Amino acid sequence: GEALSSISSVSKLTILSRRADEESGARLTGTGEGFDTADYAGPPGSTIMVENLFYNVPARKKFLKSVRTEQRFIREIFLKIALPHPGIAFTLDVDDGRRLTLNSVNSIEERLGQIYGSGIMDDLYAVTLRDLKVTMSGFLSRPHYLRPNRAMQILYVNRRPVEHRYLGFLLSKAYEAAAPRGKHPAGIILIDIDPRLVDVNIHPAKKEVKLFDSRYIDRLILALGEKALGREHAVEERLFTPGTSGI
């Protein structure tokens, strides 16, 4: 809500929305003086259109990159959001042209195939660690699948993509015996955790979150990487025994 309000103040914003159980929804269009509303009888769901971004703030618009670069940023964010939600269909349109279509599928493995190619699961291990209040699952490189950069290292907390400054270091440490210098493992890691143990309001863009015990989570990430390679992981067994979690 707050983000849409902010975007509406620097763009031409249109929202189309209809619930599946309603015959008519609503169309909301931002104008220079406020918003106009009208009935909307289109397909169920919500569509948000942002046009002429920063048209009324030329100083901010000056700092935009080239069209190609901005489109690349949008595509990266689009794919990060779509990845952990395989049951939702996503489309990306640019200048009235359809650039990407991700149909709804049954699993994250299938969604990974849509994004990275149908054979990607031949290159990744699927591993999981569980505790009383934390489940950590990941898709990590098999030893032959090492990349020249860290673009395929992504962390999700309750399906929200977040930045974690030590993710690359932890994955490199787990793969230190398998990855030569200059090569990096893929690591798509999803943490499901009690929301009460996460603070999502520490970064203005919500790119970072504060977890209840960052060192504990770091140990889990390292252990997940080590488990993927079949190595004995470093998180004490008692942490995965009911009643002795340490959370």
Q: pLDDT tens across 215-224, in order?
A: 888 888 888 9
Best CA proximity match to 187, nearest among 139, 136, 120 = 139
Query: Which residues, 6 or more positions from 170, have their beta carbon under 8 angstroms from its beta carbon?
Result: 218, 221, 222, 225
* Residues 138 and 127 sit within 8 Å (Cβ to Cβ): yes
Token digits for 117? 């190619």
Q: Higher pLDDT residue, 242 or 40?
A: 40
Answer yes or no: is pLDDT of 241 > 80. no
Q: State mean pLDDT over 120-148.
A: 91
Quote the pTM value: 0.76
Mean pLDDT, the chain, as a whole number?
85
pLDDT for position 204: 65
For residue 148, what pLDDT is reported? 93
Decide: helix, strand or coil at residue 162.
strand
Report, as an integer, the average pLDDT of 181-187: 92
Locate 153 and state its tokens.
Answer: 């290292």
In the prediction, which pLDDT does 52 show? 87
pLDDT computed for residue 240 by the predictor = 43
Q: Is the pLDDT of residue 16 over 90?
A: yes
Average pLDDT over residues 213-235: 77
Helix (H) or strand (E) holding 33, with range, is: none
| % of the chain beyond a pLDDT of 70 | 89
Asked whether residue 8 carries a pLDDT value surpassing 80, the answer given is yes
- Provide the pLDDT for residue 85: 96
pLDDT at 233 over 50: no
The predicted-structure confidence for 25-44, as pLDDT tens digits, reads as follows: 999 998 667 788 999 999 99
